[in-house]
């Protein structure tokens, strides 16, 4: 099996050696095991399913969240001489029909689609006439309500897989915290999956935080980065960073207005720049992306709608004009720089009020009792199945809220999401529905915001902080971050004596009197940050907790020591 994989990789894809984790994942898929793969940006996630699809019978369905990403992936695999099909809203009805017919006839091994397509009965009828060996869920963090890119349509993928006969499933993402990993496994109904996690450390990224004294100082800092370099660090690193800022880059903003205004600022400074957000006409979005890829424009100012489908390896810098609501969101976007392995600069312009706005927006999707009442009323009487669009119209809820609320009721055994739409299994009192899951979600969102604040404000290694957040150790060697680049009196790290001497290291399970059980994600000096099972991330003062016997280690059986 291994020799077949390596031969195919070399002869069909021109790959002489597979990267860490790829071969392990492919072998697991070929043996029929579900797989959750967490590989860093540029780590070769696509090659895993492309190779597996050629060694499996039947067709491989690849679920992708963005049309641009789907287009790039399809074109890339076709360059290797492999036939691939896709179906999306960008195609005409005739093109869709032709793609479905080729699918029925078994003329393609790879078929790309968005998650919403599984709600189309014409598509489901066509795909049920063929053999689906593998269902790939790309950007799988979109299925998790704990994730930063939650996509409600992903919630229906497990049910769709059951209708397709239960094919092997592969879930792929670049970054996922332990909570998000658990949610992916649960929501996609991965069966005893092989979980392959590879080092998320991107050692070529220089991580830094710049803090304007006033909101009005943000443009000044941005101009310094792009046009008027300052001597922040040592001469050698300054020269390397200045060169990076002369290359291609992305500036992330939160609103469409900021995208337009910041791009205007850059053009006023003589920089070839344009802006990108989801509300611009498609022709403009395509023009901006193509111009950025070709180098006709140097900088794109964008909302988070830009980047997931952009396969540009030589992005030399990513600047966050606004602070994201979580470390996951920040590192996913920052990781779009330096995919060629060369030095790239990742700068966060941290203005603390921005974080409050980000936190509010991130936690605004929680289900309420009113949502439950409105969905229940729209589906009465029990047993009557309604299509999603009809349910939206009757309930007055957005599609996102309908799907979130439906997922909650399905977990409670009150609703069925099956062929033809949504159906109440029995009537119920909306006030009796437990929103504990939603309360846990809000607590988690607040804790993620607190971790983002700590990252921005702490005087400790940026890289170690991020890696610990994702459950990884860092040996501290050759770190590119502002803390290590600053003069030595600014970059001294606190001693780990308290945490180390009491055995409170990374990954240790603990129990807290008030917060319950959790896992240590970061240990620094006299503090530990714990990802608690119920309330999310909390930072604990070890000296206080130990003196009051509030924090204890757990053994594997859950007994305290």
How confident is the model over 155-168, as pLDDT tens digits?
A: 889 989 998 999 99
User: Distance between CA atoms of 37 and 138, rounded to whole angstroms?
Assistant: 10
264: pLDDT strictly greater than 80:
yes
- Between CA 398 and CA 365, with CA 142 as vertex, the angle to 5 degrees is 40
- Segment among 155-164, 350-359, 526-535 with least mean pLDDT: 350-359
Per-residue pLDDT at 494 exceeds 50: no
Average pLDDT over residues 210-235: 90
pLDDT-derived band at 311 (thresholds 50, 70, 90) equals confident
Q: Which two three-digit tokens encode residue 211?
A: 């803090």
Number of domains the chain contains:
4
* CATH number of the domain where residue 386 is located: 1.10.10.10
Q: Of 176, 197, 218, which residue sits at a domain end?
A: 197
**pLDDT for the residue numbered 31:** 94
Look at residue 183 and tell me if it is in a domain.
yes
Which residue in 137, 132, 134 sits closest to 104, CA to CA? 132
Q: Are strands 536-541 and 527-532 parallel, antiparallel or unpaired?
A: antiparallel
CA-to-CA distance for 78 and 359, rounded, in angstroms?
A: 41
> What is the chain's Cα-based Rg?
24
- Strands of 467-535 (E only): list them: 509-512, 516-524, 527-532
* Residue 112 buriedness (CB in 10 A; 0-12 / 13-18 / 19+): buried
- Domain membership of residue 406 (yes or no) is yes
Mean pLDDT confidence for 455-467? 89
**Rounded Cα–Cα distance for residues 165 and 133 (Å):** 9
User: Does 387 map to a domain?
Assistant: yes
Three-state SS annotation for 262-321 = HHHHHHHCCCCEEEECCCCCHHHHHHHHHHHHHCCCCEEEECCCCCCCCCCCCEEEEEEC
Of the two residues 334 and 145, the one the predictor is more confident about is 334
pTM of the model: 0.73
For 243, phi then psi, to 5°, come to -65, -40
Report the alpha-carbon distance of residue 275 to residue 303 in Å, rounded: 9
* Residue 63: φ, ψ to 5°: -90, 125
Residues 178 and 30 both lie in one domain: yes
444 lies in a domain? no
Asked if 68 and 177 sit in the same domain, the reply is yes
Q: Which of 419, 434, 449 is the last residue of a domain?
A: 434
State the average pLDDT over residues 3-23: 84
| Chain position carrying tokens 């009537």 | 427
Residue 31 lies in a domain: yes
pLDDT at 224: 94
- Do 327 and 248 belong to one domain? yes
Spatial CA neighbour of 331 closest among 472, 480, 452, 178: 452
Instruction: Give yes or no for a contact between 87 and 120, defined as CB atoms under 8 angstroms apart.
Output: no
Helix or strand holding residue 55 (H, E):
helix 45-55
**Whether residue 336 sits in one domain with residue 211:** yes
| Domain of residue 346, CATH code | 3.40.50.300
Give start and end residues of each alpha helix (H) in 363-435: 369-379, 388-395, 399-411
Task: Give the mean pLDDT of 181-195.
Answer: 92
Assess whether 193 and 209 both reside in one domain: no
Q: Which helix (DSSP H) or strand (DSSP E) does residue 34 occupy?
A: none
Residue 468 to residue 411: CA distance in whole angstroms: 32
Per DSSP bridges, beta strands 59-63 and 551-553 are: unpaired
Least confident window among 324-338, 438-452, 480-494, 512-526: 480-494
Same domain assignment for residues 388 and 272: no
Within-domain flag for 151? yes
What is the phi-psi region of residue 516: left when phi exceeds 0, alpha when psi lies from -120 to 50, beta otherwise?
A: left
Question: Can you tell me the distance from the alpha carbon of 482 to that of 214, in angstroms, rounded to the nearest whole number?
Answer: 21
Give, for 7, the enclosing helix (H) or strand (E): helix 2-13
C-beta separation of 250 from 303 below 8 A: no
How far is residue 325's CA from residue 363's CA, in Å, rounded to a whole number? 9
Q: Residue 488's pLDDT is what? A: 56
Rounded distance between C-alpha atoms, residue 462 and residue 459, angstroms: 8
**Do 170 and 225 reside in the same domain of the chain?**
no
Same domain, 182 and 226: no
Is pLDDT of 307 > 50?
yes
Structure tokens belonging to residue 285: 């979005």
With a pLDDT cut of 70, the percent of the chain lying above it is 90
Contact 351, 215 (CB under 8 A): yes
- Alpha helices by DSSP H, listed for 412-548, are 436-457, 462-469, 482-485, 497-501, 542-547
Q: Are 303 and 277 in contact (CB under 8 A)?
A: yes
Q: Give the whole-angstrom CA distance, residue 549 versus residue 44.
A: 47
- Does residue 445 sit within a domain? no
Using one digit for the tens of pLDDT, what is the confidence trace for 369-415? 999 999 999 999 998 889 888 999 999 998 878 888 888 898 788 99
Distance CA 235, CA 425 (A): 69
C-beta separation of 39 from 21 below 8 A:
yes
Q: What is the pLDDT of residue 495?
A: 41
- According to the model, what pLDDT value does residue 557 have? 41
Residue 553 near residue 503 (C-beta atoms within 8 A): yes
pLDDT at 346 over 60: yes
In-domain check, residue 330: yes
Among 148, 167, 197, identify where a domain stops: 197
Name the band, by pLDDT with cuts 50, 70 and 90, for residue 497.
very low
Closest to 273 in 3D by CA, of 281, 282, 262:
262
Q: Is the pLDDT of residue 491 over 80?
A: no
73 CB-near residues (< 8 Å, 6+ apart): 46, 62, 64, 112, 138
Least confident span in 1-10, 16-25, 95-104, 121-130: 1-10
Pairing of strands 415-418, 527-532: unpaired
The answer on 251 and 232 residing in a single domain is yes
Q: How confident is the model at residue 555 (pLDDT cuts 50, 70, 90)?
A: low
- What pLDDT score does 353 carry? 81
338 and 410 assigned to the same domain: no
Strands 509-512 and 516-524: antiparallel
Q: Does one domain contain both 193 and 238?
A: no
Using DSSP bridges, classify how beta strands 273-276 and 315-320 pair: parallel, antiparallel or unpaired.
unpaired
Domain of residue 514, residue span: 459-553
pLDDT of residue 81 exceeding 90? no
- Kindly state whether residues 521 and 473 are assigned to the same domain: yes
Report residue 486 as tokens.
């600053």
């Amino acid at each position: 099996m291994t020799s077949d994989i390596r031969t195919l990789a070399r002869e069909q894809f021109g790959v002489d050696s597979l990267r860490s984790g790829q071969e392990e994942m492919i072998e697991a898929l070929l043996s029929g095991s579900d797989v959750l793969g967490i590989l860093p940006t540029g780590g070769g996630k696509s090659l895993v399913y492309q190779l597996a699809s050629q060694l499996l019978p039947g067709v491989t369905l690849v679920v992708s969240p963005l049309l641009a990403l789907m287009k790039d992936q399809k074109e890339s695999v076709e360059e290797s001489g492999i036939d691939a099909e896709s179906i999306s809203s960008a195609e005409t009805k005739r093109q869709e029909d032709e793609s479905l017919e080729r699918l029925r006839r078994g003329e393609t091994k790879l078929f790309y689609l968005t998650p919403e397509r599984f709600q189309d009965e014409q598509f489901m009828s066509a795909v049920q006439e063929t053999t689906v060996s593998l269902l790939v869920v790309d950007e799988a963090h979109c299925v998790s309500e704990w994730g930063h890119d939650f996509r409600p349509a992903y919630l229906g993928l497990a049910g769709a897989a059951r209708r397709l006969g239960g094919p092997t499933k592969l879930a792929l993402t670049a970054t996922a915290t332990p909570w998000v990993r658990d949610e992916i496994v649960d929501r996609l109904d991965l069966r005893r999956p092989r979980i392959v996690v590879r080092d998320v450390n991107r050692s070529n990224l220089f991580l830094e935080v710049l803090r304007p004294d006033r909101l009005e100082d943000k443009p000044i800092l941005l101009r310094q980065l792009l046009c008027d370099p300052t001597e922040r660090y040592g001469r050698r690193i300054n020269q390397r960073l200045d060169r990076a800022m002369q290359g291609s880059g992305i500036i992330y903003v939160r609103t469409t207005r900021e995208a337009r205004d910041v791009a205007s600022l850059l053009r006023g400074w003589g920089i070839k720049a344009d802006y990108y957000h989801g509300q611009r006409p498609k022709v403009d979005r395509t023009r901006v992306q193509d111009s950025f890829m070709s180098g006709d424009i140097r900088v794109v100012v964008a909302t988070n709608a830009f980047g997931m489908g952009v396969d540009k390896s030589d992005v030399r810098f990513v600047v966050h004009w606004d602070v994201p609501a979580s470390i996951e969101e920040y590192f996913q976007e920052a990781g779009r720089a330096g995919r060629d392995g060369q030095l790239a600069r990742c700068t966060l312009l941290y203005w603390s009020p921005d974080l409050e706005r980000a936190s509010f927006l991130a936690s605004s999707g929680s289900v309420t009792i009113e949502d439950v009442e409105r969905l229940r009323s729209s589906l009465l009487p029990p047993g009557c199945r309604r299509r999603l669009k009809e349910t939206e119209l009757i309930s007055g809820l957005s599609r996102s809220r309908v799907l979130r609320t439906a997922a909650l009721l399905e977990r409670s055994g009150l609703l069925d999401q099956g062929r033809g739409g949504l159906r109440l299994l029995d009537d119920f009192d909306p006030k009796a529905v437990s929103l504990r899951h939603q309360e846990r979600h809000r607590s988690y969102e607040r804790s993620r915001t607190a971790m983002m604040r700590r990252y921005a404000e702490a005087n400790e290694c940026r890289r170690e902080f991020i890696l610990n957040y994702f459950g990884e150790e860092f040996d501290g060697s050759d770190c590119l971050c502002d803390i290590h680049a600053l003069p030595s009196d600014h970059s001294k790290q606190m001693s780990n004596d308290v945490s180390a001497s009491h055995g409170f290291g990374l990954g240790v399970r603990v129990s807290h009197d008030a917060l319950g059980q959790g896992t240590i994600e970061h240990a620094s000096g006299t503090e530990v940050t714990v990802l608690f099972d119920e309330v999310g991330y909390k930072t604990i003062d070890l000296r206080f907790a130990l003196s009051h016997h509030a924090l204890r280690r757990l053994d594997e059986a859950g007994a305290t020591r």
